[in-house]
Structure 1
Amino acid sequence: MTTMTGAEIVMDALIQEGVEIFFGFPGGAVLDLFNALNRPGMPRFVLTRHEQGAGHMADGYAR
């Protein structure tokens, strides 16, 4: 049986839901999630300069 981290489980669930792109600012409690993005087949990541910018980018992308 393969051992997976919590971050890998979250990423796999998001991929199963069809997530294609992430917007964000790495740091603090989400660093493990960003480390889990470094696997083949992971969604594209767009680095933002501020958390609010990530929210606005995601909103615009979804429209």
Structure 2
Amino acid sequence: MRSGAQALVESLEKAGTEVLFGYPGGQVLDIFDKLGS
């Protein structure tokens, strides 16, 4: 089962996203972990 973070990263990749701005913090750490892998 994929996580919400993984689903978001896959959607960003499909959309051709090259740059993503954000700030690291508690609720988005999983997203940043998936972006780095």
Specify the structure having the higher radius of gyration (Cα): 1
**Same fold by TM-score greater than 0.5:** yes
Count how many residue pairs are aligned between Structure 1 and Structure 2.
37
The aligned amino acid for 1:15 is E
* 4+ runs deviating over 4 angstroms: none
- What RMSD over aligned residues (CA atoms) do the two structures have, in Å? 1.2
Unpaired runs of at least 5, structure 1: 40-63
Structure 1 length-normalised TM: 0.51
TM-score by length of 2: 0.74
Structure 2, unmatched stretches of 5+, are none
Q: Which has the higher contact order (CA 8 A, sep 6+)?
A: 2
Q: State the secondary structure of the residue aligned to 1:25.
A: coil
